[in-house]
Structure 1
């Protein structure tokens, strides 16, 4: 894997992302790149304030805040993991565009997210969701308090067998191997999809047959990766019903949840699917979104 990139802005959420990214870079044996994306160059901000006199202390702090933020982040990462290769840069570009570009040259992009509360329903805000929706590299969203993972906490991956899943499974197996953690592989299927009209009553024999088929299909999908990563203990689960609640319930004890995102040529108002959208907003653990075709 290439370097791990983390976006910072001085917030507690970006501090959590930094801690998680530094640990992952160390596990993978790659460099950590700390990036502050600045929407408007600091000089332009000061010019826009008008000729009201010499800059005050607040203006100087605003001018140098990106540099202060990246230096503090690098110092924090170095304190956490002495010997880790660390680089940093302040990028004078729109935040989403800058982070997506940084992710294109990285093996992994890490960003912070806010904990869900009664007021803020979109924990990733105007930056996180578009970054995840347009990045070509895996993006890990980390909320404050989730950066420290208990040893042995499982890695959980949700697999959609109707699309290509090699990249998603590959990321999950590698994450489990690096953490010496068990891997739980999930797949949800629909009883309604068995019938051509919604009023049909499901026959128990048909449902049982479909359940067995789904289990076999998932086991077959996982087997090549199991042979490649024999040291990873794997548990394969299938269920019928709503996908997002099932994934959230099954990852309640996870140290990392891995989901996929279809790469699309055209941009959509919500650039991720409903399941990915739901787990990003409600999963308490870090969530890795892996783009795939």
Structure 2
């Protein structure tokens, strides 16, 4: 049975022993292990059933630690780090030799960020090694945004979940890489493209790749409920075609009146995209437990964080 605890020293002890702990961050909970332990990194891939060609994100405690793991860091990467770290921005940079190939899927680059979460940072301060920490869920499933989600996923396999409450951002970090020093967006996430472009100017977008992805989170089917899920611009029209089905709705700000459905989840009654983002995965978890015939999600406004929400919903609905 997985222990759910707020004991940072206990979590640190388990990690020093080369075992895994699920940790809170501001985005989602991560399945964490020592990047220099082959045993721990292999255990992450095995527990998640994650393909070894998919690289892991490394979590560090300070910008000073960045140069231990990365080299030839572009000026624009430094600007982004100064602006958004600690925070939900991951950068893919040329790796130092010390970073194990198992962490980077054999690539010469490494994905790095500093989490903006007091518990995660306190844990990292207690350790003398960085943590690899992909989302703490079986590969392809809905990401966990509280300790209970993780415990339900890995109850027989994982020693401990370090409980840091609900994740405030609610979806994964934005991932930026650099090719010939020019920035490329590999994954939409908690920081909008617009916010990044305010700091470094225009960026290319290259956020889906099936084989040998350049960064984590690029596979086209991901973040998916077990329940069949549809993404529709006109939800009311779509559900009229299924009068006898047990349906759950995932909506932005308004209920659909007189809809013959089992349940409706509203992500932000005030129409706030940041609030909607923070509630997205928790709502998907609730709907997925209702034994529905289908989940029907509303397509969001396609700007700022709405793009990130649509990205997650598109991946959740891909067959």
Q: Same fold (TM over 0.5)?
A: no
TM-score by length of 2: 0.27
TM-score by length of 1: 0.29
Bigger share in helix: 1
Who wins on radius of gyration, i.e. which is larger? 1
